[in-house]
A and B are shown apart, each in its own frame.
Chain A
Amino acid sequence: MNEAMTALDVVLALGIVTTAALATTSRDRVVSVMMFLSLGVLLAITWARLAAPDIAMAEAAIAAGVTGALLISAIGALRQPARTERASWISIAGQVAVIAVATTMLAVGLVSANDQHTGPAPAGAGALDALDEAAVDHPITVVLLQFRSYDTLLEIVVLGAVALVAFALPTDDAVTTLGLRSDRGELFGGLVRVLLPVLVLLAGWLLVAGSTRPGGAFQAGALVAGVVLLLYLDGRIDPARSPRISNRWLIWGVLIGPGAFIALAGITATLGDGWLHIAPAWGGWVIIGLEALLALSIGVSLAAAFLAGRAQLPLLDPSPSFGDAEPSGRRRATGAER
C-alpha cells in the first residue's frame, strides 16, 4: 500500500512540474490555459494527499474553477493571434535560474527546520493546546477565524479590493452591459433551474459544516460565485434592463463581507476583550454568521472579477459605446435566436 502511495506521489509531483512547465513555456495560449487547468486539478489532488481537504476544496473551486473560467473567457475574446513569440534564451535562462535559486532556498530551509525541531512547530503545538477554548470544533476554521482572524480579515479586504478594481476596468460607466449572450435555449435554462437550488443548498451546507469538518467560508463562497455566474450567464439578472439594481447588488455584495468583519473587529475592540478577541461562549454563532457574510462576499467578488472582465469585450456589437449600442444589439440577436 505504501509503495502504491509513493508511486502516486511521484506521478503527482512529475505531473505538477510538467504541466507548470508546459503552461509557462507553451507558445499557444489555449494550450497554456489548458495546462493551467490541469495543474489546478493536480494541485487539488496533491492537497488531498497531504491531508488538507479544506485547501483541496478551495484550490479546486477557486484556482481551477473561477480562475480557469477567467482565463478561458480572456483568451476566448482575444483578437490578437493565439500564438506568442518564442521567448529569448536569456529570458528562459533567467527563469530557470530564479526557479533553481528558489528551490534551493526552500530545500535548505526545510532541511534546517527539520534539524532544529524534532516535534511539531511551537505555534502549532500552542494552537493545538488552545483548541480546548475554541469556539467551534474544526481546527482549521478555528485557526482561520479565531486565532488568526486578523489575517483572514486582510485576505477578505484584498479580495474586495480586487473586485472593486475590476469594476474600475470598463471604459464606460461601471457594469451596465455585459455583452453576454443570454439566450442559449432551453438547455442551459433547464440546467440553471435544476442547479441553482442545489448549489444554494450545498453552499449553505458547506458553510455550516465548516464548524465540524472541512468546509467554511471560502468553499461556500466558491459555490456562491458559481450561483452568481449562472444567474448572469442565463440572463436572469440582466444589467441592460436594470443596470442600477444589478450594479448596486454587485457592489454591496462585495462590500458586505469586509464591512461585517471590520464591524466585528470594532465591536470587539471597544466593547469586548480586545481586537478580534472571540470568546468561546458566543463565538460559535458569531463565526457562523460572519462566515455566511464572508461567503456571500467572496462569491460576489469572484463573480464580479469575471463579469467586469467581460464588460469591456464586445462580443456581439463591436461599437465603442457600450451603454447604448450593446442592449439593442443583444436584444436583436436574442430576437433572431428565438
Chain B
Amino acid sequence: MIARPAAGRGLPAVRFELRASVLVLAMIFLAWAGLLWREWRPPAGPFAPMISDGWGLAGAADYGFSLLLGAVGMMGPLGIPAARHVALSSFRSRRVEAVVIFIASFAFVWVGFGFAASQVLDVLSRWFGSLAINTSLLASVVAAAGWQLLPWKRTALRDCHRAVPLPPRGWAATKGDLTFGAIYGFRCVQACGGLMLPMFAATHGHLLLGVLATATALSERRLHLLRRRPWLVSVGVIGLAVVVGLAGARSDMRLIGWICAIPDN
C-alpha cells in the first residue's frame, strides 16, 4: 500500500481542478473584452467584407480576427468540458499548451464557418436588397429554425462528448490536440451552426444574438426536454423572429427594430 503523507502536507485539492477551467475562462474573458471594444470602436468598412468587392486581405484578416474573438467568446463555453478532458488527458508539463492548441483549433473551425456563412448571407442581401425586408436575416432565421430539425444536428448533439485518443508527448500530442479541436469544432458547427446564422445577418446587435444563440446551445446540452423535442427551439427561433419583426415595424421600439434594419448597402 502507498503510505499516506504526514498531516498538514499536500496542496489544496482545488488547485489543479481550477487551472484548466480558469485558462479557458480567461481566454473567453479576453475575447469578450475584444468584442466589446470593437463594438464601441468598430473598424471602418462593412461588417462582413466581400473579398470580391476588393476590400482586400487586410479587411478580410480584420474580419477574421473579429470572428476569432466571437468564436472564442461565444463558443468557448461549449468547449469547456472538452478542454477539461484535454487537460486531464495530457501530461502536467504540457497541459497549458494542449488546452491552448485545442481551443485555437476549435475556434478556427468556427472562423471558417463564420466566413462562409457571412459571405452567403451577404450575397443574398445584395441580390434582394431592393425588397422592403431584410432578406438575409429572414433566410437566416428560417435556416436556423430548420437546422434544428435536421437529422445531422441530432447526430452531432449525441456525439458531442466523444473524444479522440490523445498521444501523450511530442509532435503526435500536438497533432492530437489539433485534430480533436477540429473534430470537436466540426461537431459543434453541425449542432449549433444554424443558431449562429441570424447573428451574421443582423445589421446590429450581433453580440446580443450571439449570446442568445450560445445560451440556447448550452440549454440543448443540459436539458433533455430540448434534446427530445428539437422543434421547441425551432418554434422559439421563429417566435422570437416574429416578435422582433413586428416590433421593428414600430418606430418607437428602437432597440429591437435596430437589429433588423435594412442594411445600407
A is bound by B? no
Q: Which residues of A contact B (CB under 8 A)?
A: none
Q: Which residues of B contact A (CB under 8 A)?
A: none
